[in-house]
Amino acid sequence: MSGLKVIQPGIFSLPQDSGRFGQHAVGLTTGGPLDSNAFRWANRLCGNALEATAIEVTIGGLVLESTTTTQIALTGADIPLTINKKPAALWHSHAINPGDRIELGFATAGSRGYFAVAGGFQFEPIFNSASTVPREALGGLTQDGTALQTGQLLPCETVKDHRDSQAVPKHLVPDYGNNSALLRVVLGYQQEAFSNLQKQLFFTSQYAVTESSDRMGYRLKGSKITPSIEGILSEGICLGAIQVPADSQPIVLLNDRQTIGGYPKLGSVLSLDIGKLAQLMPGGTVRFEAISVEQAHNLLALDHHQFLNTALENIPEETLESSLKNTAKSTKP
């Protein structure tokens, strides 16, 4: 089969589809892209189903060589992209021919890029998903949870005719530049075990992302929040749950979280804001804002409809060069 050959795997590049669902009963987590917004746009740019398998590139360093005719797109963090050494824009689709060399540099803002290919990467699913979860040794090209390796061929379909390049409208491209985020929170779980004073402290404080942050969870450092209970009977944990262990420093649980756990939880971060958190580098800062579950439902519906009803912009090839000048800052070495 044709595909893209891995010349350099980069720092940590994981194949991800939209996630592994319906397997919590046997203890499997969901995996899937940390920044689901950047992920869906990458697939949209390639004309794919929104759950198609793409590569989540953490920080960067991925180098690929194509054996086929296809189209690609890179979204997410500001990672300099070149095709045959020529700078190529992010949040755009690009035509690729056999022999083309695609190089990703290292992120200058944000930390997760999403690299999609026309038709999606064709990996054999395990538990109905290609999502790679290293902790569970599941998913990915070899189905055993390993990150991309040098020499692998990432299979994808051959495209007959290149479509015109397309771009995500500028106003919808997130700015990852200031390494900070406001995270909206639906209060829940053991929220009553946190006094009003503790909640006020939490919602008026700034927290920093620590080095011990990964796909399981982001450990934050800041004002200590202490619930009135130490532990609970282990219970199901949803995406974005904010748990507070004995050291009183909150952890926001992400895609590779354990499915059950026994620390008190204050509520959960809105899924639309999970990607903003996961794009932060250690030292990045977050603040929290409480919203009701009804507001959350409304925000999700609005976001969904905005995405569905937004047209991509057609970019004739000759104007690609000039559009690049606008993103020149992100293509510096």
Partner 1 sequence: MSSPQQTISIAGENSLIVYFGDKPGAAIASQVAQTAHQLRESLSQVLIDLIPSYASLLVIYNPLQTDHNAVRKSIRQALSNLTDDVNSESNKGQTQGSLVSLPVYYSTESGSDLQTLADGAGLTTEQVIAIHQQTEYRVYAIGFAPGFAYLGEVDPRIAAPRLATPRQKVPRGAVAIADRQTAVYPAQSPGGWNLIGLCPQRMFDPNANPTMPVQVGDRVRFEAIDKQTFLELGGQL
Residues that bind partner 1 (CB under 8 A): 21-28, 126-127, 136-138, 186-189, 233-241, 258-261, 265, 267-268, 270-271, 293-294, 296-297, 300-301, 304
Q: How far is the CB of 173 from partner 1 (least distance, A)?
A: 24
- Give 65 or 214: the residue with its C-beta nearer to partner 1: 214
Query: Minimum distance between the CB of residue 296 and partner 1, rounded to whole angstroms?
Result: 4
Minimum CB–partner distance for residue 208 and partner 1 (Å): 23
Comparison of 107 and 237: residue with beta carbon closer to partner 1: 237
**What amino acid is encoded at 103 in this protein?**
E
Identify which of residues 167 and 225 has a Cβ nearer to partner 1 in the complex: 225
Minimum CB distance to partner 1 smaller for 124 or for 164 = 124
Strand segments (E) across 192-259: 207-213, 217-221, 235-236, 241-243, 251-253
Token reading at 174: 């997130």
Which residue number, 1 or 301, has a Cβ lying nearer to partner 1?
301
Q: Which residue has the tokens 């756990």?
A: 261
Min separation Cβ 22 and partner 1, Å:
5
Where helices occur in the chain by DSSP H, the ranges are 36-45, 196-204, 271-278, 293-309, 320-326
Q: How far is the CB of 43 from partner 1 (least distance, A)?
A: 18
Which residue number, 209 or 270, has a Cβ lying nearer to partner 1?
Answer: 270
Whole-number Å distance between alpha carbons of 112 and 49: 21
d(CA 284, CA 207): 8
d(CA 112, CA 89): 16
Q: Which among 88, 279, 247 is positioned nearest to 177, based on CA atoms? A: 279
Q: What does the alpha-carbon distance between residue 283 and residue 219 come to, in Å, rounded to a whole number?
A: 11
Minimum CB distance to partner 1, residue 240 (Å): 6
